[in-house]
């Protein structure tokens, strides 16, 4: 994860936990879980799926909630432990050994049971920063089937102005069943966002055409071009939109062609 390999990155991850799996580019096939037809022809699905990076848990661990208290265990543990705030195994000592003296004793916790029932904060074992005016959207992996035992919250972090651990918050749903988290499955997806894209003036300003009678001619012309004309061609190629988008990307940004 050395930024010298990628000059001027929008986002830089700092690995803190030894041996933890590094983030990887998110996958257009969602790790092979997309239906083959969707993967081949639905460019909108592919683009959303591959936007950003997968981040994995730093260790295999399991949570269980009885509606009141959360307990947890991890690979190599001798049993279950009541969760209030827990350090990654052995990390606090390593942090105090390697961090500047003034920062010793301030290692970030791995798991924290939040005051709200069933809410747990999970540290990914990473720190994160971004380039000026870039933030990160921390969210569940796009289009990956969700685990019905818990939900992940989404959050936007202005990581150019704030440097610290990359956390996520999750809400446990099922009670009295072990809920496993694996280093083989992405825990979350981190996506770069330029601050201008979620500015108040952008979100507060949008257009609205209230009915078909108010559609301008250019809207009908575009509808005809994109939806009607292709269906009138008996030999039209399947996936024409996907092919067009990929050709355009190859011409503009060969790195992301695919």
For residue 213, pLDDT over 80 is answered with yes
**Averaged pLDDT, 93-118:** 97
Instruction: Flag the least confident range among 164-173, 186-195, 221-230.
Output: 221-230
For residue 235, pLDDT beyond 90? no
Q: Helical H runs in 60-123?
A: 91-98
Pick the residue with more confidence: 2 or 80?
A: 80
pLDDT value, residue 251: 65
pLDDT of residue 111: 98
**For residue 7, pLDDT beyond 90:** no
Can you give the pTM of this predicted structure?
0.87
pLDDT at 100 exceeding the cut of 50: yes
At 34 the three-state DSSP class reads coil
* Predicted pLDDT at 243: 63
Average model confidence (pLDDT) across the chain: 91
pLDDT band at 167 (very low <50, low <70, confident <90, very high): very high
Per-residue tokens: 104: 């010793």
Note the pLDDT of residue 8: 87
Instruction: Taking residues 144-148, report their average pLDDT.
Output: 94
Is it the case that residue 254 has pLDDT exceeding 60?
Answer: no
User: Is the per-residue pLDDT at 6 higher than 80?
Assistant: no
Give the pLDDT band (50/70/90) at residue 109. very high
Structure tokens at 81: 């432990």
Residue 1 has pLDDT above 60, yes or no: no
What is the b/e burial string over 133-162, where b = at least 16 CB atoms within 10 angstroms of the residue's CB? ebbbbbbbbbbbeebebbebeeeebebbee
Has residue 5 got a pLDDT over 50?
A: yes
Query: Does the CA dihedral 250-251-252-253 come out positive or negative?
Result: positive
CB 124 within 8 A of CB 17: no
The DSSP secondary-structure symbol of 117 reads T
- Domains defined along the chain, listed by start: 3-202 (2.70.40.10), 211-256 (no CATH)
Find how far residue 159's CA is from the centre of its chain: 15
From the number of C-beta atoms within 10 Å of its C-beta (0-12, 13-18, 19+), residue 213 rates as exposed
How much is the pLDDT for 193?
97
Q: Say whether pLDDT at 255 is over 70.
A: no
d(CA 231, CA 218): 20
């Amino acid at each position: 994860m050395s930024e010298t390999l990628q000059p001027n990155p929008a986002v830089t991850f700092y690995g803190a936990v030894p041996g933890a799996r590094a983030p990887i580019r998110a996958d257009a096939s969602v790790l092979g879980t997309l239906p083959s037809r969707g993967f081949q022809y639905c460019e909108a699905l592919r683009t959303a799926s591959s936007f950003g990076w997968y981040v994995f848990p730093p260790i295999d661990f399991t949570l269980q909630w009885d509606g009141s208290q959360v307990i947890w265990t991890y690979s190599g543990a001798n049993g279950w432990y009541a969760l209030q705030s827990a350090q990654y195994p052995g990390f606090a000592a390593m942090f105090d050994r390697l961090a500047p003296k003034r920062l010793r004793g301030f290692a970030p916790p791995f798991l924290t049971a939040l005051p709200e029932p069933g809410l747990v904060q999970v540290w990914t074992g990473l720190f994160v920063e971004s380039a000026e005016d870039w933030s990160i959207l921390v969210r569940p992996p796009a289009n990956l089937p969700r685990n019905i035992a818990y939900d992940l919250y989404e959050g936007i972090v202005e990581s150019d102005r704030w440097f610290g651990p990359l956390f996520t918050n999750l809400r446990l749903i099922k009670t009295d069943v072990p809920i496993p988290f694996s280093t083989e499955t992405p825990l979350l997806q981190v996506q770069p966002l330029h601050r201008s894209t979620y500015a108040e003036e952008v979100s507060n300003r949008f257009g609205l055409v209230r009915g078909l009678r108010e559609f301008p001619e250019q809207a009908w012309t575009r509808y005809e071009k994109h939806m009607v004309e292709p269906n009138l061609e008996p030999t039209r190629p399947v996936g024409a939109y996907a092919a067009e988008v990929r050709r355009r990307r190859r011409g503009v940004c060969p790195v992301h062609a695919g």
